[in-house]
């Protein structure tokens, strides 16, 4: 049974207010920590931000082996890192912190978002595109066992499926395969008809 | 005034202000009886719009019957949306119909309905999201009153609203749970959102998505709220549609093949249609497009309009001859006045003396004047005799694009523009021929004859020249004869007794020179060509039919019938 979170619109709005520190262009520095393009900004230590978030959400301090999957060391990890940082900004909302019971599900959700989303979208698109923003908020809420205020569990799940980039990619792939098959079938029929017509003409 | 009429009339201004305080639209025509509905042409729906006179028509009788009394604001705002957002005007309505028709080969009859559903989705989504109107409540009410089972198309449409407005599944309809249906509903919402601003282009994607649902649409299934089916009903086709637009070539693309919707780059399969540059729309497509728009003109009139539009960019300075200007006009007699001539030249007194019943072009006359010779030169256009070979070897201009007809339209309209009179004769002989009633100034009649088709015989019948120049009194003004034909003309000259001599005689009587635009390889038929040239004919080789357009452009630089 899912519990009601704040209004969806409120959380989507929070994403748009994400401070610039969370969306600076990042690159892996020599020490293994991420540097921003802004020389005035501090280096970003993602695992520290994420571990602090888990604590504030009521979780226990993370052990070294739990921190390891949150660690990013290469430039290729930047999209994953930026998505996790955006999720951290969303879940740092006072409502989640006040509940003091989302530490463990938030940890799992961060790992899932970092694993699944970079193949389909990125942090910039999530901030800019309302549909991606809605999907992101819904994924975070589902991870915490919540539904947006005013929605039933079934409605929330239905809506997530309809806005999901992952789901869309699957639909697009399947529809393209279906179209391709239909085209091949039509082409085969056209060829067969032409062959039959040619054979008929030869006989006559 | 009934309370319902008062309530709806009061909501009009509020509905208009939702879009903008500056929207200028006359108040809606509210119909309270079936008689009033019939007079307005309202049938099959409780509301409709007309783009031709920017009207909104509401049947309060049907509003009451369907229990929609309380939805004055959303319904009126929706109708205004058709005028200010989608389609907005007749041209954009035609542009989306052109794309939808191309996306639905074999199912073109559904194009007006698909265009209506598409623009409704765009408008309602905006009213719901931007103006916070409860559009879903209108559809819930409409669904309550539905007697027959909903088609899958209608379910897809309603499911689209549920997804667009984040309504729980089942709010508007009981949609099928099949994954392909739900996937299509998801794609439909993507089309509406992605193309909300570039909606003309998005119309083709929408139509392709609906295609499988249209194929299984029961004949008696009609959506409850179709208000723009007859939006373009008029007798005046919108201009600018004789050519295809660049993106019409990719109208058959499925939404999943569109990177803007799929969100991923996609390489279309080989052989899939690609976007073309602007090119002439096929004349038959043009006439069918106008018919689906609701233009009430015959196919022949539409074909004439089509070539008129194509010829407009190529109009040329028409050849003129210099005369000594008269110092004193001398009234000489009466000529037939036709509706293409200036009204000021109509001699009312003489026309009424001739017949108390005035029939323009039949009983109407104008005074003709002679001149005493003066000193200042005056430029007078030559009248034009345009003879076109319309035999079996020539394409039907109503079905395929015809360069001879286009060239003819360019020259004919250029002549009329400077005051020339024209006679157009189509001839495919032995067989049929048709002609304007003599030399006229009525562009519509001349174009209608020009764009006709005979498809008989093998060549232009030169006896038609005899009919005009030898059998009738000689023309009062010099006439230039232009024949657009191929080498079969020479065979016709040989087969008609005294044919070659006839060609020389008519040229002399016409007095304005003659040109043969000969569809043949350059320097071919030298003997026959030399024979015509010796009589004074000018021969222009046009090796391919598209070269006729270049010929028309150069026509103005020629000097006709001027003795050296």
Has residue A203 been placed in a domain? no
pLDDT digits (tens, 9 = 90+) for B300-313: 999 999 999 999 98
Tell whether A106 lies on the interface with B, counting CB pairs under 8 A.
Answer: no
Residue A168's alpha-carbon distances to A86, A157, B189, in angstroms, are 22, 15, 12
Q: How many domains does chain A have?
A: 1
Determine the distance in angstroms separating the CA of B180 from the nearest CA of chain A, rounded to an integer.
Answer: 8
Distance from CA of B226 to the nearest CA of A (A): 27
The closest of A17, A182, A39, A186 to A90, measured between CA atoms, is: A17
Distance (Å, whole) CA B543 – CA B169: 66
Residues from chain B contacting residue A151 (CB–CB below 8 Å): 168
Smallest Cα–Cα separation from B203: which of B266, B155, B267, B250? B250
Q: Which of B186, B254, B264 sits opposite A179 (nearest CB)?
A: B254
User: pLDDT at residue B275 above 50?
Assistant: no
> How far apart are the two ends of chain A, measured CA to CA in Å?
74
Of A162, A174, A176, the CB nearest to B163: A162
If you measure CA to CA, which chain B residue comes closest to A177?
B256
- B258, closest residue in chain A (CA to CA): A172
Residue A181 domain-assigned (yes or no): no
Model confidence over B319-364: pLDDT tens digits? 666 665 555 677 788 888 888 888 888 899 989 988 889 998 889 9
pTM beyond 0.90: the answer is no
**Among the listed residues B543, B537, B548, B512, the one whose alpha carbon sits nearest the alpha carbon of residue B318:** B512
The whole-angstrom distance between A50's CA and the closest CA on chain B is 30
Q: Which of A114-123, B203-212, B446-455, B547-556 has the lowest mean pLDDT?
A: B547-556
Report the share of chain A in percent with pLDDT over 90.
Answer: 44
Residue A99 pLDDT greater than 50, yes or no: yes
Q: Which long-range contacts (CB under 8 A, 24 or more apart) does A168-173 make?
A: A168/A120, A168/B186, A168/B190, A168/B262, A168/B263, A169/A120, A169/B263, A169/B264, A171/B183, A171/B186, A171/B187, A171/B256, A172/B256, A172/B262, A172/B263, A172/B264
Say what the pLDDT of residue B100 is.
96
Instruction: Centre a 10 Å sphere on the Cβ of residue B165 and count the other Cβ atoms it contains.
Output: 17
A157 close to B (CB below 8 A): no
Quote the tokens at residue A134: 């809605």
- Quote the pLDDT of residue B557: 60
What average pLDDT score do residues A56-73 get? Answer: 89
* Arithmetic mean of pLDDT over chain A: 87
Are A109 and A66 contacting, i.e. CB atoms less than 8 angstroms apart?
A: no
State the count of interchain CB pairs (< 8 A) between A and B: 47
Residue A33 has pLDDT above 80, yes or no: no
- State which residues form the domain around A144: 3-163
pLDDT(A161) > 90: no
Q: What is the pLDDT of residues B137-151, one digit of tens each?
A: 999 999 887 766 679
Q: How far is B186 from chain A (nearest CA, A)?
A: 6
Tell me the mean pLDDT in the region A117-140: 92
B320: region left, alpha or beta (phi > 0 left; psi from -120 to 50 alpha): beta
Give domain status of residue A191, yes or no.
Answer: no
The verdict on A152 touching B (C-beta cutoff 8 Å) is yes
For residue A105, tell me if it sits in a domain.
Answer: yes
| Percent of chain A whose pLDDT exceeds 70 | 90
Which residue of B lies nearest to A152 if distances are taken between CA atoms?
B168
Q: Cβ of B186 and A172 within 8 Å?
A: no
Q: Where are the alpha helices (DSSP H) in A57-164?
A: 64-67, 78-91, 94-99, 103-116, 123-128, 130-143, 153-163
- Mean pLDDT, residues B535-562: 79
ipTM metric: 0.72
In a domain, A193, yes or no: no
Is position A185 within any domain? no
Q: pLDDT at residue B227 above 70?
A: yes
Contact predicate B405/B343, CB 8 Å: no
Q: Is A60 an interface residue toward B (CB < 8 Å)?
A: no
Q: Report the C-alpha dihedral over residues B385, B389, B395, B398, rounded to 10 degrees.
A: 40
Q: Which of B106, B164, B168, B267 to mutate to test the interface with A (most CBs of A within 10 A)?
A: B168
Q: Which residue of B has its CA nearest to A130?
A: B193
**Angle between helices B179-194 and A165-203 in degrees, nearest 10:** 110
pLDDT tier for residue B562 given thresholds of 50, 70 and 90: very low
Provide mean pLDDT across the span B288-295.
92
Q: Is the pLDDT of residue A139 over 60?
A: yes
Phi, psi of A44 (to 5 degrees): -100, 125
Residue B39 structure tokens: 């007079």
In a domain, A144, yes or no: yes
Tokens of B68: 């929609």
Nearest to B166 among A154, A159, A178 (CB): A159
Instruction: Indicate whether A96 belongs to any domain.
Output: yes
pLDDT of A42 reads: 66
Residues B367-418: pLDDT tens digits?
A: 888 766 666 666 778 899 999 999 987 889 999 999 999 999 999 998 898 8
A108: distance to nearest CA of chain B, Å? 27
Four-CA torsion B166, B167, B169, B172, nearest 10 degrees: -130
Whether residues A165 and B263 touch (CB distance < 8 A) is answered with yes
CA distance B155 to B281: 35
**How far is Cα A93 from Cα A105, in angstroms, rounded to an integer?**
16
Contact A171 B169 (CB under 8 A): no
Query: Looking at the DSSP assignment, which residues form a beta bridge with residue B377?
Result: B324
Residue the block writes with tokens 């939702």: B18
Report residue A28: phi and psi, to 5°: -70, 125
Q: Are B191 and B120 in contact (CB under 8 A)?
A: no
Q: Which of B543, B455, B539, B531 minimizes the C-alpha distance to B493?
A: B531
What integer pLDDT is reported at residue B377 of this predicted model?
67
B21-66 residue pLDDT tens: 999 999 999 999 999 999 999 988 999 999 989 999 999 999 999 9
Q: What was the pLDDT predicted at A20?
A: 77
Structural domains for chain B: 3-266+276-293 (no CATH), 320-378 (no CATH), 382-557 (3.40.50.410)
């Amino acid at each position: 049974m899912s519990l009601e979170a704040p209004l969806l619109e409120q959380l989507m709005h929070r994403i748009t207010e994400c401070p610039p520190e969370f969306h600076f262009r990042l690159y892996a520095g020599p020490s293994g920590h991420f540097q921003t393009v802004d020389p005035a900004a501090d280096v970003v230590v993602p695992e520290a931000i994420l571990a602090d978030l888990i604590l504030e959400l009521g979780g226990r301090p993370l052990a070294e082996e739990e921190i390891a999957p949150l660690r990013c060391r290469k430039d290729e990890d930047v999209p994953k890192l930026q998505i996790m940082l955006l999720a951290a900004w969303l879940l740092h909302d006072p409502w989640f912190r006040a509940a003091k019971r989302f530490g463990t599900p938030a940890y799992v959700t961060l790992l899932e978002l970092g694993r699944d989303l970079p193949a389909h979208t990125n942090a910039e698109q999530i901030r800019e595109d309302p549909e991606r923003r809605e999907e992101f908020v819904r994924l975070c809420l589902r991870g915490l066992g919540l539904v947006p205020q005013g929605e039933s569990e079934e409605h929330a799940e239905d809506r997530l499926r309809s806005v999901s980039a992952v789901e869309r990619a699957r639909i697009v792939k399947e529809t393209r395969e279906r179209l391709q098959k239909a085209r091949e079938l039509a082409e085969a029929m056209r060829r067969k008809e032409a062959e039959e017509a040619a054979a008929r003409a030869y006989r006559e | 005034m009934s309370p319902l009429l008062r309530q709806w009339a009061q909501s009009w201004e509020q509905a208009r202000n939702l879009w903008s305080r500056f929207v200028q639209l006359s108040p809606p025509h509210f119909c309270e009886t079936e008689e009033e509905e019939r007079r307005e042409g309202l049938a099959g729906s409780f509301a409709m719009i007309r783009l031709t006179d920017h009207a909104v028509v509401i049947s309060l009788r049907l509003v009451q019957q369907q229990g929609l009394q309380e939805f004055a604001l959303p319904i009126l705002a929706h109708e205004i949306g058709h005028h200010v957002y989608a389609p907005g005007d007749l041209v954009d309505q035609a542009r989306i119909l052109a794309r939808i028709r191309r996306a639905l080969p074999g199912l073109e009859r559904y194009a007006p309905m698909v265009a209506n559903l598409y623009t409704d989705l765009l408008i309602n989504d905006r009213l719901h999201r931007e103006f916070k109107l409860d559009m879903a409540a209108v559809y819930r009410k409409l669904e309550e009153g539905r007697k027959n089972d909903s088609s899958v198309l209608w379910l897809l449409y309603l499911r689209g609203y549920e997804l667009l407005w984040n309504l729980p599944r089942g709010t508007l309809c009981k949609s099928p749970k099949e994954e392909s249906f739900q996937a299509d509903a998801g794609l439909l919402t993507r089309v509406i959102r992605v193309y909300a601003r570039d909606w003309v282009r998005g119309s083709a994607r929408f139509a392709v998505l609906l295609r499988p649902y249209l194929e299984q649409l029961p004949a008696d299934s009609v959506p409850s709220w179709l208000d723009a089916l007859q939006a373009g009903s008029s007798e005046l086709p919108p201009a600018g549609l004789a050519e295809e637009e660049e993106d019409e070539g990719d109208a058959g693309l499925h939404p999943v093949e569109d990177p803007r919707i799929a969100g991923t780059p996609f390489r279309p399969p080989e052989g899939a249609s690609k976007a073309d540059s602007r090119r002439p729309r096929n004349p038959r497509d043009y006439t069918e497009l106008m018919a689906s728009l609701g233009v009430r003109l015959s196919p022949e009139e539409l074909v004439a309009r089509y070539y008129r539009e194509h010829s407009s960019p190529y109009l040329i300075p028409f050849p003129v001859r210099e005369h000594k200007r008269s110092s004193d006009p001398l009234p000489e007699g009466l000529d037939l006045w036709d509706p293409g001539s200036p009204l000021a030249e109509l001699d009312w007194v003489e026309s009424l003396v001739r017949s108390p019943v005035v029939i323009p072009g039949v009983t109407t006359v104008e005074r003709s004047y002679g001149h005493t010779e003066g000193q200042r030169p005056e430029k007078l256009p030559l009248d034009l005799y345009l003879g076109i070979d319309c035999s079996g070897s020539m394409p039907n201009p109503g079905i395929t694009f015809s360069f001879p007809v286009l060239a003819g339209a360019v020259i004919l309209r250029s002549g009329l523009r400077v005051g020339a009179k024209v006679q157009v004769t189509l001839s495919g002989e032995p067989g049929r021929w048709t002609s304007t009633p003599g030399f006229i100034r009525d562009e519509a009649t001349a174009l209608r004859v020009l764009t006709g088709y005979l498809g008989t015989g093998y060549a232009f019948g030169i006896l038609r020249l005899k009919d005009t120049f030898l059998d009738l009194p000689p023309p009062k003004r010099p006439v230039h004869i232009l024949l657009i034909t191929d080498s079969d003309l020479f065979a016709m000259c040989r087969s008609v007794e005294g044919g070659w001599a006839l060609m020389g005689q008519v040229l002399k009587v016409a007095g304005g020179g003659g040109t043969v635009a000969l569809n043949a390889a350059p320097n071919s038929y030298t003997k026959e060509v030399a024979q015509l040239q010796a009589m004074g004919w000018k021969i222009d080789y046009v090796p391919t039919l598209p070269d006729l357009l270049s010929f028309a452009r150069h026509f103005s630089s020629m000097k006709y019938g001027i003795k050296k």
